[in-house]
Amino acid sequence: MNLKTLIVVLGTISSLSVAGISSAHTADTVRVRGTVVGFEPSLLTVKTRQGDIAAIKLNAGWNISGVASASMKDIKQGDFLGIASVSKADGGSGALEVVVFPAALKGTGEGDRPWDLQPNSRMTNGTVADVTDINGRAVTLTYDNGQTKKISIPDTTPVVTFAPATPTDLRPGATVFVAAQREADGTLSSGRVVVGNNGVVPPM
C-alpha cells in the first residue's frame, strides 16, 4: 500500500475512528464490526458482533488496510493518537483501545466525540502533550485549539497502528471493521475495509 492510498484509508478511519461521517445527502454512517462470511470483488458479507449478517457493497476503487501491534511504551510527546475511552468512577477517562497514527497523518479527525465501541464511549483524536506513569500509564491529548483530555491506559488496552493488507486477507472468519454508508433503501456500501491480519485484529 503506497502512502497516498494509506492516507485515503486512514483519513476515513480516523473519521470512523472518530465519529462517523454522514454524507451530504441521505446516507448515514454505520460502523460494522464482525467477521467475514464471504467476499467477492464487489461485495463483503459480515457477521456482525450482534449476530446479524451485513452485506456491504464495495465501491469502485475501494481500499483495504490491516493493523499491526504497537507499544504504549513507545508513545511519546508529539505523537498523534486516536483513543476510544469511557468515563471512570473517579471522573477520569479509561482507554478501551489506542490507535497510533503515522506522522504524516497528524491532525486527521482531530477532536472528541461520541463513539459506539461500547455504551457511553467516546473517541478522542489528538496530539500527546504529556505521558505519565503515576499509578499506571496515562496520556494527555490536546485537540481543537487547546482543549485537553487526560486518559488512563490500562496495561491490557490494545494498542495498534496501521499496516498493509490485501483482499486475500478477507478470508472467512477474519475480523473486520468497516465504516459503511446506509442509503435510504437500507443498502450498505463502503470504499474501505480494515481487516485483522498477522494475528492482530482491529480493536476500534
The confidence score (pLDDT) of residue 78 equals 95
Number of domains in the chain: 2
| Amino acid type, 36 | V
Digit-coded pLDDT (tens) for 47-82: 999 999 999 999 999 999 999 999 988 899 999 999
**174/151 same-domain check:** no
| Residue bearing cell 493518537 | 81
Q: Would residue 202 count as lying in a domain?
A: no
**137/80 same-domain check:** yes
Q: What is the pTM of this model?
A: 0.79
Residues whose CB falls within 8 Å of the CB of residue 86, separated by 6 or more in sequence, listed in order: 93, 94, 96, 118, 120, 121, 122
Q: Average of pLDDT values for 150-164? A: 93
CA distance 71 to 93: 20
Average pLDDT score over the chain: 87
- For 22, 94, 160, 198, the CA distances from 155, given in Å and listed in that order, are 34, 11, 13, 21
**149/78 same-domain check:** yes
State yes or no: pLDDT of 21 exceeds 60. Answer: no
Q: Would residue 204 count as lying in a domain?
A: no
- Write the CATH number for 188: 2.40.50.140
**86/104 same-domain check:** yes
Could you give the count of Cα atoms lying within 13 Å of 138 in the half-sphere of its Cβ? Answer: 13
Residues in the chain: 204
**93/63 same-domain check:** no
* β-bridge partners, 31: 179
**88/143 same-domain check:** yes
CB distance 193 to 162 below 8 Å: no
CA distance 201 to 204: 9
What is the bridge-based pairing of β-strands 159-163 and 53-69? Answer: antiparallel
State yes or no: pLDDT of 139 exceeds 50. Answer: yes
**119/54 same-domain check:** no
Q: Which of 90-104, 113-127, 142-156, 168-182 has the lowest mean pLDDT?
A: 90-104
Q: Give the 3-state DSSP-derived string for 10-52, with helices as H, strands as E and coil as C.
A: HHHHHHHCCCCCCCCCCCEEEEEEEEEEEEECCEEEEEECCCC
CA distance 176 to 56: 12
| Residue bearing cell 433503501 | 185
**105/76 same-domain check:** yes
Q: Whole domain around residue 153: which residue ranges?
A: 70-159
Q: Would residue 58 count as lying in a domain?
A: yes
- Please give the angle made by the CA atoms of 190, 191 and 193, to the nearest 5 degrees: 85
- For 124, 169, 186, the CA distances from 112, given in Å and listed in that order, are 4, 32, 29
- Reported as a pLDDT band with limits 50, 70 and 90, residue 25 is very low
